[in-house]
Amino acid sequence: MKEILKKYSNKDITVIWKPSACIHSTNCWKASLKVFNPKRKPWIDMSGGTTEEVIKIINDCPSGALSFERNNEMTEQKAQPAQSPESKLTVQVNKGGPYLVKGKFVFIGTDGNEEIKEGSIALCRCGASNNKPFCDGAHKKIGFDQD
């Protein structure tokens, strides 16, 4: 099944949002309702902030649902989470939510295909995601509250 991607541009960058990867952490819209407003359509308004502000918020997206590409480059820039100077791979167990994996790693799917990933992904821990192995925010609907 083809993954749905939504794109929003200003003169410098194009923001790419993968709805299926969003874990509804609320980080983005709490950082700027002018840019990210889930009650508005389209929900991302690139005129609501500077390019630097938008990039900073994207880099704080814990799931990797938000990424961006520079309009003058061909390759997508993955969100770069805050990392230690050694750029260690980190796996954080999120209370009542997913495993947050940040860094650079090889992801191997059930089909055996290997993919080099850099940035963040959220892996379902509650068992309710319709997009396994990734979290799709369903942990909130089922009231998952495990440590």
Residues that bind ligand FES (CB under 6 A): 23, 97-98, 124-126, 128-129, 135-139
Nearer to ligand FES, 4 or 74 (CB): 4
How many chain residues are in contact with ligand SF4, going by CB under 6 A?
Answer: 12
How far apart are alpha carbons 66 and 114 in whole angstroms?
Answer: 22
Nearer to ligand FES, 48 or 133 (CB): 133
Nearer to ligand SF4, 22 or 55 (CB): 22
Binding mask 28-67 for ligand SF4 (x = CB under 6 A): x--------------------------------xxx-xx-
Q: What are phi and psi of 29, to 5 degrees?
A: -75, -25
Asked if 124 is part of the footprint of ligand SF4 (rule: CB under 6 A), the reply reads no
- Contact pick of 8, 15, 16, 24 for ligand SF4 (by CB under 6 A): 24
Asked if 80 is part of the footprint of ligand SF4 (rule: CB under 6 A), the reply reads no
SS (HEC) of the chain: CCCCCEEEECCCEEEEECHHHCCCCCHHHHHCCCCECCCCCCCECHHHCCHHHHHHHHHCCCCCCEEEEECCCCCCECCCCCCCCCCCCEEEECCCCCEEEEEEEEEECCCCCEEEEEEEEEECCCCCCCCCCECCCHHHHCCCCCC
Asked if 23 is part of the footprint of ligand SF4 (rule: CB under 6 A), the reply reads yes
Binding residues for ligand SF4, rule: CB under 6 A, are 22-28, 61-63, 65-66
